[in-house]
Chain A
């Protein structure tokens, strides 16, 4: 149904392609998928079985309800990047070891590569796109710029998400707590020192 964005013919932008694919998919009817937040509330006589073809997946991303057709075996990361064209969340190891794909689920950091998108139904997803904008950076993002907390920048979205969650939970972390907070995010350029300084800087300013 929904071809992978990589298969799109040349000259067709990903965004246009996805719009077209979404319209074509709208005719498909699918069983209602219970969300994880309704666990045990309504038990149907027979278990819902979906896939391997596309189904409608409805998620709340950065406060906005968004629906797209995708196979139920799609990870949250691939759904964000390839079906919603939200490419701020990065795909690096795809095995939960590097943290480049970190998003918030109900305020907690998770590796979006290592969970099914359908298991995020009914929950609040926050991606890096939902944390500040280029015109209106958060204090933490400003601190990343000021403290030179990036080199190649590929780990940065995941770092920003993890550090945002850290400051939400603990507005005045010490150095050890910051190290613990980013223990799931790898920076191959080795800019950890500046990232730690950026978090301290944002913390001093009382921002997030």
Chain B
């Protein structure tokens, strides 16, 4: 690892003004950035350590909902009572992510800003549309874990497990920057995660100097009936191959359902067509069949990841059975 300077700002303003370009990364938990520095994928002269900034480490309940400070660790999010009560799918998705150690270190802000796990992007010998070159090596190369939807420009998958769940809950990402004279802006989660068509070089809607300060969960979307299902190769220290988040009657509103797919596209994929199927009838075998028929629609699998389509069908069925309280696995 190449030694680097560490800036230790005490305020958002200081931290923001230290980052003039993406060559000066922010560090919080460190679990993603330090690995990339050790691999020489990024070799910063300086990193900006956010850990000494006050007010980012708490979960607070407001009239509008739950505010999770960006520096709250994944474990503290997953075990928080307010999160578990109203936004249980979020606790569930974190519950088994990575390893216990990582969940004690990694922060919610860092989790949603982590870099894609694409092995070409994480290899110093390749450049692509994401990092100054052009094209996508995975499209015609090794693409077992890559995207099956929206993969024309870049076949990355959004690596954050919580991203699709945040989209489903209609969460917002609170962002601050000294450039905008410290004015907070709130970006809805479905606009925070970018597609390569929007900008191949960025995965999230952060400009230089902008810092995620909190994740906001709206009280009006607290949901009692939900399910999160996920498939991955290993039980620990692995990323999802596909996930399905379903919120049934979101916020207690009849007809307001959310179906969001994860790990199959560069950004979380909300599927209004599947939500309509759920709204149209009962959560029965016919519904499962209709969802399974529809879920692969629009996918463009690559040479090695066609398995994700039947995987999604299986996860979708499991998600509906879970909504019905059936314990049967499969």
Please report A residues at the B interface, Cβ cutoff 8 Å.
33-36, 38-44, 46-53, 71-73, 75, 94-97, 99, 102, 105, 108-111, 113-116, 118-119, 162, 180-181, 183-184
Contacts and interface: CB of A to CB of B under 8 A. Distances in A.
Contacts of A72: 5-6
B188 interface: no
Given A111-B102, A114-B105, A95 B52 contact: no
26 contacts: A33-B8, A34-B10, A36-B52, A38-B52, A40-B10, A43-B10, A47-B15, A49-B7, A51-B3, A52-B3, A52-B4, A73-B4, A75-B34, A95-B38, A96-B105, A99-B101, A109-B101, A111-B99, A115-B29, A115-B31, A118-B6, A119-B49, A162-B100, A183-B235, A184-B101, A184-B102
Contact of B104 (A39, A105, A113): A105
A184 B10 contact: no
B8 A116 contact: no
A75 to B, nearest CB: 7
Most buried by B among A35, A51, A180: A51
Interface string B41-82: 000011101011111110000000000000000010000000
Contacts, number: 134
Nearest to A74: B3
Main secondary structure of the interface of B (DSSP, over half): loop
B44 to A, nearest CB: 10
A45 B14 CA distance: 9
A83 B60 CA distance: 40
Contacts of A118: 6, 8, 49
A119 B105 CA distance: 11
B101 A111 contact: yes
A184 B52 contact: no
B5 A119 contact: no
B5 A52 contact: yes
Nearest to A78: B1
B236 interface: yes
A52 B3 CA distance: 6
Interface residues of B, number: 44
Contacts of A184: 98-102, 236-237
A54 to B, nearest CB: 9
A73 B45 CA distance: 11
A96 B31 CA distance: 7
B101 A51 contact: no
A144 to B, nearest CB: 19
Most buried by B among A47, A48, A71, A113: A47
B208 interface: no
A183 B99 contact: yes
Interface in B84-112: 96, 98-102, 104-105
Given A39-B51, A49-B46, A111-B105, A183 B6 contact: no
B240 to A, nearest CB: 16
Contact of A119 (B30, B46, B237): B30
Contacts of B8: 33-34, 47-50, 118
Contact of A114 (B6, B34, B100): B34
A50 B10 contact: no
Nearest to B236: A183
B111 to A, nearest CB: 14
A119 to B, nearest CB: 5
B248 to A, nearest CB: 28
A73 B52 CA distance: 16
Given A40-B10, A44-B10, A119-B30, A96 B101 contact: yes
B6 A47 contact: no
Nearest to B4: A73
Nearest to A53: B3
B5 A49 contact: yes
B27 interface: yes
Interface in B1-27: 1-11, 14-15, 18, 27
Contacts of B179: none
